[in-house]
Amino acid sequence: MAIDATHDPALTSWVASAQAAGADFPIQNLPFGRFRRAGSAEPWRIGVAIGDQVLDLAAAARAGGWSAEVAALLVPLAAGDLNAFMAQGPAPRRALRSALQAALRTGSARQAALAPCLVAQAEVEFSLPCSVHDYTDFYTSVHHATAVGRLFRPDNPLLPNYKWVPIGYHGRASSLVVSGTPIRRPNGQFRLPGAPEGSAPDFGPCRRLDYELELGAYVGRANALGEPVSIGQADEHLFGLGLLNDWSARDLQAWEYQPLGPFLSKNFGSVLSPWIVTMEALEPFRVPFTRPEGDPQPLPYLDSAENRAGGALDIQLQVRIQTAQMRAAGEPAVALMQSNFRDSYWTLAQLIAHHTVNGCNLNPGDLLGSGTLSGPQPGQGGSLLELTGGGKQPITLPNGETRTFVQDGDSIELHAWCEREGVVRIGFGACVGAILPAP
């Protein structure tokens, strides 16, 4: 991949809102989502975000005027099947990106034909952007791993395998939901602090409900069973990124996770943002991947000159909270923390290479969660578990409310954006989830 004419900061769109200050979706972005008009029975179709609008690719396909190649690429998208488009790999994706950008740029002869194909984002509803049949959650932040480990193993917070292998577990794809979907507080087993050893666990609503700030990487091109993807090929198998809130029941998790890892503490609902920002849009924000001095370098199958030169991504990440009391008072969500994906201990290419090194086959639309993305500084924890020291140090919000863990009625927002000198800022849109009482 490389920076090309589609990243030109001088490019503007005839969709005026694409040039708004701080806009997530300028013409240099063009992320994909699956939508229909809110409250309608219209068929789901794929669109691309531009400013505060969605370009309906079904309507755009009917408008005609495309080359034969581009018209063919629009067929599955008009039918709402992003997976079929993802499966074609990066070359067709780049071709469509270039064609859409040419059609949406200021002065385009396609403006009159495509203007009626725009739908305001405020007037649509979203589904998951693609069908996710498999979901793996990784543990890429060494800062999160260390902070959480320190809560349970003060003398040995980081397990000995962490700096050698990208750790992950298989998640539950069926409980992935799109931004805006409320999540019910889960019921389950847990052991109360101070309970006598050997006593029966308690059962009831989770008392230590937490969010986890993550990115979700979507697989594009598949690999066959038994055929690993080398790290040099891994980027060609990635389609793009979205935001992921991997809600976690910390008390259920502490009781159940040994010896096989997370189970009911993680599969009651995970929220994905509606847009997938493509790897092409992210290309200008690649940065070198480095390890701290004295840390082991990755094994050869996880290492390459290209990955060292630009395997990491400079993506700013932020969590905001709006409590029920704030909502009733008309107060906006407030920031709890901010971190950066570039501080991850493993790159996306390394996740693909490791996931497939044993011959595991990944398919179009498969989701790879980054794990909680915490930063190295105090206050950069990607979960309340870290920010409150395991619930021992409550956070005081601007309105005077305090939080150790998420309460019923709280709404959590994840946000992400990329910006650097000489490049147009792009964003991911919001990933929002509110908590309902346990059933």
Write out the catalytic residue numbers.
Answer: 144
Burial status of residue 427 (CB atoms within 10 A of its CB: 0-12, 13-18, 19 or more): buried
Contacts by 399-405 with C-beta closer than 8 Å and gap 24+?
Answer: 399/323, 399/325, 399/326, 399/329, 399/331, 401/323, 401/325, 401/326, 403/321, 403/323, 404/208, 405/207, 405/208, 405/209, 405/210, 405/250
Residue 384 near residue 406, CB atoms below 8 Å:
yes
DSSP codes of every residue in 83-101: HHHHTT-HHHHHHHHHHHH
DSSP string, 50-70: ETTEEEEHHHHHHH----HHH
Count of beta carbons in the 10 Å neighbourhood of residue 97: 20
Which H helix or E strand runs over 213?
strand 213-219
Phi, psi of 403 (to 5 degrees): -140, 135
CA torsion through residues 348, 349, 355, 356, sign: positive
Q: How far apart are CA 247 and CA 373, in angstroms?
A: 14
Round to whole Å and give the CA distance between 95 and 48. Answer: 15
Tokens of 173: 């794809």
Please, are residues 427 and 433 in contact by the beta-carbon 8 Å criterion?
Answer: no
Burial class of residue 187 in the structure, from the number of CB atoms within 10 Å of its CB (0-12 exposed, 13-18 middle, 19+ buried): middle
- The number of CA neighbours under 13 Å toward the Cβ of 27 is 23
Which helix H or strand E contains 324, and what residues bound it? helix 324-328
Specify whether the CB–CB gap between 339 and 402 falls below 8 A: no
Place of tokens 């080359």: 67
- The DSSP element (H or E) to which 327 belongs, if any, is helix 324-328
